[in-house]
Amino acid sequence: MQQAQSTKEETRTLRPLGNRVLVKRLEAIQQLKGGIILPETAKQKQEQAEVIALGTGKKDKEGKLIPIPVKIGDKILMDKYAGQEISLNDEEYLIVRADDIIAIID
């Protein structure tokens, strides 16, 4: 006997721990100025991302909490090979250390 599958889509949330930040890469530009469209294999991964969730921060030598210097919704520039790629609810995300964030894009 087969079990009936649930019609509700399973949703999960992810909360980074410590000095980590959950980000989603921003879409890379797919067309060059001359109108040439790049194939997927030729595209470089984008170093720009949007902050989705934050960890609690890290503690200094005295045990004081140092908050993460970005907030949810910030657009950031991060190190090229930073982070751990994950898939959540059919979306691709990265978990990066706050130290791997280079700048906030205004």
Map residue 19 onto helix, strand or coil: coil
Q: Tell me how far apart the alpha carbons of residues 97 and 106 are, in angstroms, rounded to a whole number.
A: 21
In this prediction the pTM is: 0.73
Q: Is the model's pLDDT at 72 over the cut of 50? A: yes
What percentage of the chain exceeds 70 in pLDDT?
71
What's the confidence (pLDDT) of residue 28?
Answer: 62
Q: Is the model's pLDDT at 9 over the cut of 50? A: no
Q: Tell me how far apart the alpha carbons of residues 75 and 49 are, in angstroms, rounded to a whole number.
A: 6
Q: Is the model's pLDDT at 73 over the cut of 70? A: yes
Domains and CATH numbers, the chain: 20-27+43-105 (2.30.33.40)
Question: Residues 47-75, buried b or exposed e (16+ Cβ, 10 A)?
Answer: bebebbebbebbeeeeeeeeebebeeebe
